[in-house]
Structure 1
Amino acid sequence: MEGGSVCAAGGDEGRRRDPVKGTMAERLTALLGHRVRRAARAERSHDWDISYAEVEDGTRLFVKSLPRTAAPSAVLTSEARGLTWLGRAFGSPALEPVAWDDRILVLPWVEEREPSPSAAERLGRRLAGMHLTGADHFGAPWPGYVGPLPMDNTPSRKWPTFYAEQRLLPYLRRAADQGGLTPSDVRIVEKVVDRVADLAGDPEPPARIHGDLWSGNVLWRGQDAVLVDPAAHGGHREADLAMLTLFGLPHLERVRDAYNEVAPLATGWRSRVALHQLHPLLVHVCLFGAAYRTTVLEAARAALKGWS
């Protein structure tokens, strides 16, 4: 999940924005300070374009950019700051930005390979180390995005309050407003929102989390892996592991076992997986509609199971 766009309003209504000038290669050359000899658009993802570029010395780059007619947005800057913040804690290898501005994000090219069990174990240990590095609070000191949707990163000291008010409720309301959830569905999820403090387990300090760690955001390079497209913030460490479980990951048990060697998960973590999956599932309803409705309700009921 990724990105965002801003529409003209008020005094700008009806006024067209001037398109960004220059080819992608020219824009990248200006941003990087050395000549990019080739850049080709490959696809569209959410609200931005994906391109591949090559510098004069042969270095290959991966580029995300806002469309030429779109207004500047904080989405790519947020991703760049998140990658840099995570990279300081993840250790080598970390996929840190090459360069960025409010319209373009340039990343190293990753040559993907089949994942190996040993790479999965390294990922588990590095993920644990990243989480243990911690954060000053729940949230982050930059505007948040999860995919193209804004995400409230206002600092908070209490995770249950943060999760209920800044991760569940905004997307529950949006999903309902868009017709992805019925009023009856909303009431079921609201039961989870009301009881997060009871369901959360023992308090944990803010962890430095990726925030959108589904399997597609783990790029394998044979003997290691790198993390991409974060919604980085100070959060609950179980959230990243629950997200890996949600859509599956090669050698997931190896990742989790290695993680536990470095940072053992708290008692009862398995019973909280559905609680942590509820946020990304609500985001998916907002992005993709009622196709995820049933999964949201299953997660809400699983999160409530056993509560009294």
Structure 2
Amino acid sequence: MDTFVKERAGAPRGFFAAEAAGLKWLAEPDVVPVVGVVDQDKNGLRLDRLQASAPDARSAFSFGRQLALLHDSGAPGFGWAPAEPAWFGPLDSPFEVEVVSCATFTEFWVECRLNPIAADISASLSQNHQATITSAIEAISTGVFDGISGTGQEKPARVHGDLWSGNLMWTPEGCTLIDPAAHGGHRLEDLALLALFGTPHLEEIFAGYEAVHPMAEGWRDDLPVHNFFALLAHVKLFGTGFLGQALDAAHMVVERSSEIRTVQ
């Protein structure tokens, strides 16, 4: 098979090792297509070359089923990753994220993702914007999002971790995962990122997912909690052009938290 080389001279220490480990970990359960790792060194990865094809509804439904099986295969803990250090962000400017193994999603999301990223971007924000972001983090810290729509507590899922549409490769063999930030997380992390910037045949993906793993009613209303980190990361990486979306998500998180607590 032909290969594809992904490289960057002077990449951060462990960046390509983390990506290679993540791809292998996602492929391990053998439930979803994942691009194969041929070789890896400090400056790049050699991967199986994939043949691109157009997305279609049938492949999307199948991918949804496969993604649910991947999540259900589990992880050792929230925030656990198959390599350390771990990274988030694009090839030219990734930033390191903490590798931990937390018992709850709330502990991982608040202490290891949201608080650090909020601190990183605080100097570029007004006091009102900082307060809005803080209010959302405080709403999440209550623990109401440990489950889905306030029901139960999710176990750590095996997640891709950066599953926006650009990290899906549609091929004749099915939708294939590339470019992960793989870790143990909440299953809604991946679903939220698929929805955030638009993914072809998203409804078919969701339908396939729920055919394997039925979801609690109202689960889509929880998605702003799970794309909040990615939006704050976009502010860090690309500037305040993404701040409006991040603030909108913060308001939705606070509102959703109040709704769940009222029902409980």
TM norm structure 2: 0.88
Q: Distance in 1 between matches of 2:199 and 2:256?
A: 28
Q: Distance in 2 between matches of 1:246 and 1:60?
A: 33
1:85 to 2:25 alignment: yes
Equivalent residue number for residue 190 of structure 1: 134
Equivalent residue number for residue 163 of structure 1: 109
Q: Distance in 1 between matches of 2:256 and 2:63?
A: 32
Equivalent residue number for residue 262 of structure 2: none
RMSD of aligned Cα (Å) = 1.5
Cα pair 2:235 2:243 within 8 Å, conserved: yes
* Shift, 1:144, TM fit: 1.4
Q: Structure 2: state its 5+ residue gaps.
A: 259-264
Deviations 1:136-179 (A, max 9, x none): 111224221111011112111111011011111111111223x2
Matched to 2:176, the amino acid is: V
| Pair 77,104 (structure 1): closer, same or farther in 2 beyond 3 Å | same
Q: Distance in 1 between matches of 2:68 and 2:11?
A: 38
Q: Distance in 2 between matches of 1:239 and 1:193?
A: 16
Equivalent residue number for residue 97 of structure 2: 151
| Pair 73,265 (structure 1): closer, same or farther in 2 beyond 3 Å | same
Please identify runs of 4+ aligned residues in structure 1 that moved more than 3 A: none
Q: How many residues align?
A: 246
Equivalent residue number for residue 213 of structure 2: 263
TM norm structure 1: 0.76
Equivalent residue number for residue 184 of structure 2: 234
Equivalent residue number for residue 261 of structure 2: none
Equivalent residue number for residue 36 of structure 1: none
Matched to 2:252, the amino acid is: A
Matched to 1:278, the amino acid is: F
Q: Distance in 1 between matches of 2:144 and 2:245?
A: 22
Q: Residue 98 of structure 1 aligns to a residue in which SS?
A: strand
Percent identity over the alignment is 37
Matched to 2:33, the amino acid is: P
1:293 to 2:237 alignment: no
Matched to 1:241, the amino acid is: L
Matched to 2:164, the amino acid is: W
Residues 9-88 of structure 1 aligned to structure 2 (within 5 Å): 59-67=1-9, 70=10, 73-88=13-28
Residues 122-141 of structure 1 aligned to structure 2 (within 5 Å): 122-139=62-79, 140-141=81-82
Specify which structure has the bigger relative contact order, considering alpha-carbon pairs within 8 angstroms and separated by 6 or more residues: 2
* Shift, 1:94, TM fit: 2.2
Q: Distance in 1 between matches of 2:62 and 2:198?
A: 18
Q: Residue 187 of structure 1 aligns to a residue in which SS?
A: helix
**From 168, 180, 201, the counterpart of 1:251:** 201
| Pair 71,282 (structure 1): closer, same or farther in 2 beyond 3 Å | closer
Q: Distance in 1 between matches of 2:198 and 2:119?
A: 28
Cα pair 1:90 1:129 within 8 Å, conserved: no
Deviations 1:55-99 (A, max 9, x none): xxxx422212231xx266111100000000001125353212111
Q: Residue 198 of structure 1 aligns to a residue in which SS?
A: coil
More helix by share: 2
Q: Structure 1: state its 5+ residue gaps.
A: 1-58
Deviations 1:77-136 (A, max 9, x none): 000000000011253532121111222211111121101111101100110000000001
Deviations 1:24-80 (A, max 9, x none): xxxxxxxxxxxxxxxxxxxxxxxxxxxxxxxxxxx422212231xx26611110000
Matched to 1:209, the amino acid is: V
